[in-house]
Structure 1
């Protein structure tokens, strides 16, 4: 790379960082102006600020904000916001980030969360699991199941396409599956067609991911809606 190109690249990066810093300053000003009783609005802005901090590689600061936002979302039964907080926490790349991902997946599958967000969380599970792990297969087929249940007509086709592509990619890396007949055989072998079978298995995978660091009582949350 020539010196001129290096200078141009460095200048662009500096300009982008300056824009990010300016945007962050505006966000923080708005956050500070919010009244204390605007808890949900404050929580959502905290997540926006956390994403800006991640872009600036200030991930520890982002973690603190997103973790606080998660607690507020959970207290208000704001499931989508709680899952988005877990997504931000996962991006923070801190010691608890993978556990946060697991908790976000549990909430996204258990409660009526936006299927596009649920798909994104389950795709993270695929990224975190080894190629030969059944966990990725369970995540991929659960994504398709959630889309079938929750997606609105306008987004169903595009989300289904993404979920089917995810299943195909997982099958290929897991067992070198490359055609429909092999895919059918693979799904039958791994018992990926019955949600009464694959959802409890996915729950076990999530339990392994989170370990003993759950931030909430799952039974208490379930009982609130029984």
Structure 2
């Protein structure tokens, strides 16, 4: 009801309904439902321009999802938080990407996340190339039968091409040499290196317990 009423333009009534929903989910112990409601409220409040309140709500969602190890949903919320919080966005996006390396997140969500993180990285940073080649890798190995595969591949290629251009690589031959020299053709190198860079970005800013994530 809140979502429909929001779409009709009655923001205060929609938020009031979401607040009622929060009370109910807390009473019955529906942790996942509470997180969904908080996330919906945060999206709307961010859209209305109250960024500090939206960030506070997203942080509640992150805390809630972390408690139940809902990592797929946590990737989505961390991505939303990363795009909303200008000052700490890179830290949240890095955590979302770190999780994505360990779970089977949807391909389209993964490429969007890589693109968002790429846009936050300083131009010419090694991380740009690591992100681009990771995007290409996921398209190649997870993309079979995906209805948007061609679009996702094109987006991934733009990322790796942009990374190459930022390092002065202009010709196809130079690109091939650079790709090999940077070991971007070796998943045994670029995945651990990407993981290392992500952990360096987050530092002590982790919002979930890494040791509980499968694969750690």
TM-score normalised by the chain length of structure 1 = 0.80
Q: Distance in 1 between matches of 2:144 and 2:30?
A: 30
Label 1:150 to 1:28 Cα distance change in 2 as closer, same or farther (>3 A): farther
Q: Which has the larger radius of gyration?
A: 1
Q: Distance in 1 between matches of 2:12 and 2:110?
A: 27
The number of aligned residues is 206
Counterpart in 1 of 2:20? Answer: 32
- Report if the CA contact (8 A) 1:82-1:104 is conserved: yes
Q: Distance in 2 between matches of 1:77 and 1:56?
A: 30
1:200 offset after TM fit, Å? 0.9
1:220 offset after TM fit, Å? 2.7
Q: Distance in 2 between matches of 1:69 and 1:158?
A: 31
- Report if the CA contact (8 A) 1:137-1:170 is conserved: yes
Counterpart in 1 of 2:91? Answer: 99
CA RMSD of aligned residues (A): 2.4
Q: Distance in 2 between matches of 1:201 and 1:73?
A: 28
Q: Distance in 2 between matches of 1:131 and 1:223?
A: 31
TM-score normalised by the chain length of structure 2 = 0.84
Label 1:28 to 1:79 Cα distance change in 2 as closer, same or farther (>3 A): farther
Q: Which moved more, 1:196-205 or 1:51-60?
A: 51-60
1:85 offset after TM fit, Å? 0.9
Runs of at least 5 residues in structure 1 that lack an aligned partner in the other structure = 1-17
The structure whose RCO (Cα within 8 Å, separation 6+) is larger is 2
Label 1:148 to 1:78 Cα distance change in 2 as closer, same or farther (>3 A): farther
Runs of at least 5 residues in structure 2 that lack an aligned partner in the other structure = 1-5
Q: What does residue range 50-129 of structure 1 map to in structure 2 within 5 Å?
A: 50-93=42-85, 95-129=87-121
1:28 offset after TM fit, Å? 4.3
